[in-house]
């Protein structure tokens, strides 16, 4: 903020070192496009309100007055601090549209050609997944977002369903959609399809095992590596030397017809479906304590060249899908705080608040990506927690032009090891219904203490003559 802040009716606004990315000029342009610029001089002009809502994401445990105090602590104040009611009214006046457009300006891949770990065989690694965000328990929020119902009862808070397309190498957000749970994961994934481009390799779990969705992904020009349910019938046309096989994914509802064709010697050329490659994998995890766990998974990919894209390498590569989960953890637990509920009491406020979290998160990832490229290091070695903590300090001190975040990120004491520690986390209930410690699952904690070794074994596929089924 300028030195004359204390002598003016309003200030330009600031977000610490992130003001270099979310510049006043960018905010002004977004407000002008969405027609949210104030019509008269106010103590809380629209630009300041945008920065205030973004600052709310950095101090989620503070009320409106506390967030305002943190944002203006490093500058001179004027007489007559805005009340919580004035700040709340200013949020409503600005609305959701400027934040949606601001996120649209910032979202997208962060990795460059020199970014370590972002590409594999010339393909940009991306993943999509879905999560839920809990909103305040008000009648307005429940009417729009509803409560999740399951066998154990009804959720205590309405939940916003959020799906994200994440760049695996930097964990940056390429695109995000959110809203009520209606439509599910696949429905929201279809809204992410325009952000897929040729040169990408999309990773996804079994929740997206849909022929129609895979067909639509392939039509974008991007390649896919999806995990598939083993109960689905996959006609294998040709076995490949690395144990994988060229398969034919039939149209939904036409499996019976294709089984009949398979008994007669093969699928005719005029059949409609998706040509893919199937990889059957056995995953074995050994711990230092001597325990062994074995599981199997089936992978489907449009990368048909077994020589250029070996099955064993693709099996190991599928693990990169978890970078989307890591991004969700940073967004929901590190930035917002564990088990925190959004503060907004109406759907418009919830949408505005979620966009604000996405903007702050993406701006931090942009900063981290630039720092990693400067140091020629893998972005995985940089700590999101360190970047967030340093950013909060810079907001309080109103520091804009310094490189404190980059310096803190590249401090050798803060860098993660070059090689990640091998870990295993069995699928268990992570949030138990009982509040008593002795009822909480202990197997997951015991496995987390052990060093693990994971191996992948490719099970050779069989052709149509032995895989035709009854």
CATH number at residue 234: 3.90.350
pLDDT at 273 over 80: no
DSSP-derived 3-state class of residue 413: coil
User: Residue 29 — pLDDT band, cuts 50, 70, 90?
Assistant: very high
Are 210 and 267 contained in the same domain? yes
Does pLDDT of 275 surpass 90?
Answer: no
pLDDT for the residue numbered 455: 73
Does residue 388 fall inside a structural domain?
A: yes
Which band of pLDDT confidence, cut at 50, 70 and 90, is reported for residue 76? Answer: low
Verify that 101 and 181 share a domain, yes or no. Answer: no
Exposed / middle / buried, residue 160 (Cβ in 10 Å: 0-12, 13-18, 19+)? buried
- pLDDT tops 90 at residue 14: no
Q: Is the alpha carbon torsion for 276, 280, 285, 291 positive or negative?
A: positive
Residue 69 covered by a domain: yes
Instruction: Judge whether 85 lies within some domain.
Output: yes
Whether residues 122 and 90 fall in one domain: no
Mean pLDDT for the stretch of residues 410-426: 76
Query: Each residue of 83-141: pLDDT tens digit?
Result: 999 999 999 999 999 999 999 999 999 999 889 989 999 999 999 999 999 999 999 99
Of 213, 157, 211, 141, nearest in space to 184 by CA: 213
Q: Are residues 237 and 173 in the same domain?
A: yes
pLDDT of residue 269: 59
Q: Are residues 113 and 207 in the same domain?
A: yes
Q: What local confidence, expressed as pLDDT, does residue 434 receive?
A: 54
Give the mean pLDDT of 357-383.
Answer: 94
pLDDT the model gives residue 6: 38
Higher pLDDT, 293 or 262: 293
Query: Token digits for 221?
Result: 């020009």
> Helical H runs in 376-442?
384-397, 404-409
Residue 405, burial from CB neighbour count under 10 angstroms (0-12, 13-18, 19+): buried
Question: Residue 276 forms beta bridges with which residues?
Answer: 247
Q: Are residues 41 and 141 located together in one domain of the fold?
A: no
Who has greater pLDDT, 72 or 151? 72
Taking the C-alpha atoms of residue 270 and residue 306, their distance in angstroms, rounded to an integer, is 25
Does 392 score more than 50 pLDDT? yes
Same domain? 256 vs 370: no
Q: Judge whether 63 lies within some domain.
A: yes
pLDDT above 90 (res 346): yes
CA nearest 449: which of 287, 302, 341, 284? 287
Is residue 57 within 8 A of residue 42, CB to CB? The reply is no
The yes-or-no verdict on residue 418 having pLDDT over 70 is yes
Say if 166 falls within a structural domain: yes
Q: What is the mean pLDDT of residues 411-417?
A: 88
151 vs 24, more confident: 24
In this structure, the answer to whether residues 99 and 133 fall within a common structural domain is no
Write out the residue range of the structural domain in which residue 83 sits.
1-106+363-419
On whether both 166 and 313 belong to a single domain, the answer is: yes
Token look-up 């309080």 returns: 396
For residue 297, what are the β-bridge partners? 281
Q: Are 174 and 265 members of one domain?
A: yes
Reply yes or no on whether the pLDDT at 13 is more than 50.
Answer: yes
Is residue 356 one of the residues assigned to a domain? no
Is residue 34 situated within a structural domain? yes
| Predicted confidence band of residue 34 (pLDDT cuts 50, 70, 90) | very high
Is residue 196 located within the same domain as residue 309? yes
Residue 50 above 80 pLDDT? yes
Flag whether 353 is in a domain: no
pLDDT, tens digit, 9 for 90 and up, residues 201-249: 999 999 998 888 999 999 999 999 999 987 777 878 888 999 999 888 8
Strand partners, 455: 284
- pLDDT (average), residues 10-22: 82
pLDDT of residue 148: 80
- Give the 3-state secondary structure of residue 354: helix
The half-sphere exposure of 32 on its side-chain side, counting CA atoms within 13 A, is 6
**How would you class 329 by CB atoms within 10 Å of its CB: exposed for 0-12, middle for 13-18, buried for 19 or more?**
middle
Residues 278 and 406 in one domain: no
CA dist 42 → 22, 37, 75, 85 (Å) = 22, 11, 19, 15
Amino acid 60: pLDDT: 92
Rounded to 5°, angle at Cα 274 from 272 and 278: 135
Contact 125, 119 (CB under 8 A): yes
pTM score, whole prediction = 0.89
Tell me which of 235 and 144 has the higher pLDDT.
144
419, 438, 453: which is the final residue of a domain?
419
What is the number of domains present in the chain?
2
């Amino acid at each position: 903020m300028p030195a004359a802040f204390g002598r003016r009716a309003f200030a330009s606004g600031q977000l610490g070192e992130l003001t270099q990315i979310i510049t006043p000029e960018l905010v002004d342009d977004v407000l002008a496009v969405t027609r949210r610029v104030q019509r008269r001089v106010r103590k809380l002009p629209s630009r300041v309100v945008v920065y205030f809502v973004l600052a709310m994401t950095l101090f989620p445990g503070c009320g409106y007055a506390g967030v305002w105090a943190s944002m203006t602590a490093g500058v001179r104040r004027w007489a007559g601090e805005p009340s919580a009611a004035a700040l709340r009214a200013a949020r409503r006046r600005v609305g959701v549209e400027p934040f949606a457009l601001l996120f649209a300006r910032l979202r997208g891949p962060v990795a460059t050609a020199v970014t370590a770990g972002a590409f594999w065989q010339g393909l940009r690694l991306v993943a999509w997944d879905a999560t839920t965000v809990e909103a305040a328990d008000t009648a307005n929020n429940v009417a729009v977002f509803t409560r999740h119902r399951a066998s154990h009862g009804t959720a205590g808070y309405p939940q916003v369903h959020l799906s994200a397309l994440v760049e695996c190498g930097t964990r940056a957000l390429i695109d995000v959609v959110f809203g009520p749970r209606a439509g599910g994961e696949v429905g929201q994934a279809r809204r992410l399809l325009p952000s897929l481009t040729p040169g990408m390799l999309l990773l996804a779990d079994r929740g997206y095992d849909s022929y129609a969705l895979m067909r639509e992904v392939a039509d974008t020009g991007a390649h896919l590596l999806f995990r598939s349910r083993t109960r689905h019938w996959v006609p294998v046309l040709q076995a490949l030397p690395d144990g994988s096989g060229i398969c034919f994914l039939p149209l939904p509802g036409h499996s019976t017809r294709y089984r009949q064709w398979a008994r007669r010697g093969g699928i005719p050329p005029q059949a409609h479906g998706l040509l893919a490659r199937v990889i059957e994998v056995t995953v074995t995890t050994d711990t230092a304590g001597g325990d062994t766990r074995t599981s199997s998974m089936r992978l489907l990919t449009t990368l048909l060249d077994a020589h250029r894209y070996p099955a064993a390498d693709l099996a190991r590569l599928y693990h990169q899908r978890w970078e989307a989960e890591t991004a969700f953890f940073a967004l929901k637990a590190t930035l917002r705080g564990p088990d925190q509920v959004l503060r907004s009491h109406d759907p418009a406020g919830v949408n505005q608040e979620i966009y604000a979290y996405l903007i702050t998160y993406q701006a931090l990832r942009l900063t981290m990506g630039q720092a990693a490229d400067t140091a020629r290091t893998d972005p995985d070695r940089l700590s999101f927690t360190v970047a967030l903590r340093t950013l909060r300090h810079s907001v309080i001190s109103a520091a804009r032009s310094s490189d404190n975040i980059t310096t803190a990120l590249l401090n050798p004491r803060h860098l993660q090891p070059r090689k990640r520690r091998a870990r295993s986390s069995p699928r268990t209930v992570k949030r138990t219904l009982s509040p008593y410690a002795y009822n909480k699952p202990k197997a997951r904690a015991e496995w987390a203490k052990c060093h693990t070794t994971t191996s992948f074994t490719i099970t050779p596929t069989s052709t149509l003559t032995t895989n035709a089924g009854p």
